[in-house]
Amino acid sequence: MGKVNTKVTLCGIELDNPVVPASGTFGYGYEFAELYDINCLGTFSFKGTTKDPRFGNPTPRIAECTAGMINAVGLQNPGVDKVISEELPRLAKCFHKPVMANVSGFSVEDYAYTCEKLDKEAQVGWLEVNVSCPNVHGGGMSFGTSPEAAAEVTKAVKKVTTKPVIIKLSPNVTDIVSIAKACEEAGADGISLINTMLGMRIDLRTRKPVIANKMGGFSGSAIFPVAVRMVYQVAHAVKIPVVGMGGVSTAEDVIEMMLAGATAVEVGAANLVNPYACRDIVADLPRVMEKYRIESLSEFIGGVQ
């Protein structure tokens, strides 16, 4: 086999490879840039950003579990104005590709306001609109659990933006396909899934939940089969590209997600276990492609029989 081609095109923007660190696991990039050259990545999705600053949830916020973790950080971030004035200029010094801006909100107006501001930033390539945060009361997931609400957010954001809008869906629903289709009909340019599942741990000594929030987002390799199934279902139901994520930790996982129908693949919890996870996956992709006789990743998307 000759040289393999890892390039993919996501909503009209070419990526060197499909590997994308997931929002909330990679900050705004510059901490990881001290460890390695993050320009080896396809892109990354920066920390979930809201209209106003958020302190996040009370601690403890993290609980361990078999083959995964539960978190309830609660969208801690400095708010969109600070992100634009402070975080993006720092990010621009170490990352020279379009970045994915991840946006959360507590009302349709919040989403539209934050997206409109970030849309004007030169370095933002895509807006990843998170209607799926499972651990913020009254925000995020409440918009992602009904087709009507998800469509309403999609329409409002599309009205005030020019860049591709990718709606990030929650797996904590019975019918993810109907929600994805509603977003597509409302004008979404792509769908990303899955966000974390909802999990809980209880301390046997105190007989209380380990996390102050009681429940939190369950992520890690344990959820990978659920993610592959949902990506497969959604990719076969919509015509817009799908960004797959959920328990991805190896180059083989990336290729399995792409076989299921993902154009690009986000890596989340693995970054928290090994800060070099995404770099190592990118480096390993050509070997895995050669092993399975894949010459070009973009021609291979959704290739499951």
The helix/strand/coil state of 160 is: coil
The pair of three-digit structure tokens given for residue 137, joined into one six-digit string: 């009361």
Burial annotation 133-145 (CB, 10 A radius, 16+ → b, else e): bbbbeebbbbbbb
Q: Identify which of 137, 119, 121, 210 has the alpha carbon closest to the alpha carbon of residue 129.
A: 119
Is 133 catalytic? The answer is yes
Q: Which residues of the chain form beta strands (DSSP E)?
A: 8-10, 13-15, 19-21, 62-65, 68-71, 99-103, 124-130, 165-168, 190-193, 197-199, 202-203, 208-209, 216-219, 242-245, 262-267
In whole angstroms, how far apart are CA 213 and each of 73, 74, 121, 131, 140?
A: 9, 9, 34, 19, 15
Q: Which amino acid is at 220?
A: G
254, 270 Cβ separation under 8 angstroms: no
Greatest extent of the chain over all pairs of C-alpha atoms, in Å: 60
Is residue 290 classed exposed, middle or buried when 0-12, 13-18 and 19+ CB atoms within 10 A define those classes? middle
Q: Which of 11, 115, 133, 278 is catalytic?
A: 133
**Centroid of chain to Cα 179:** 17
HSE value, Cβ hemisphere, 13 Å, CA-based, for 191: 34
68, 220 Cβ separation under 8 angstroms: yes
Q: Identify which of 69, 33, 76 has the alpha carbon closest to the alpha carbon of residue 276.
A: 33
Active site residues: 133
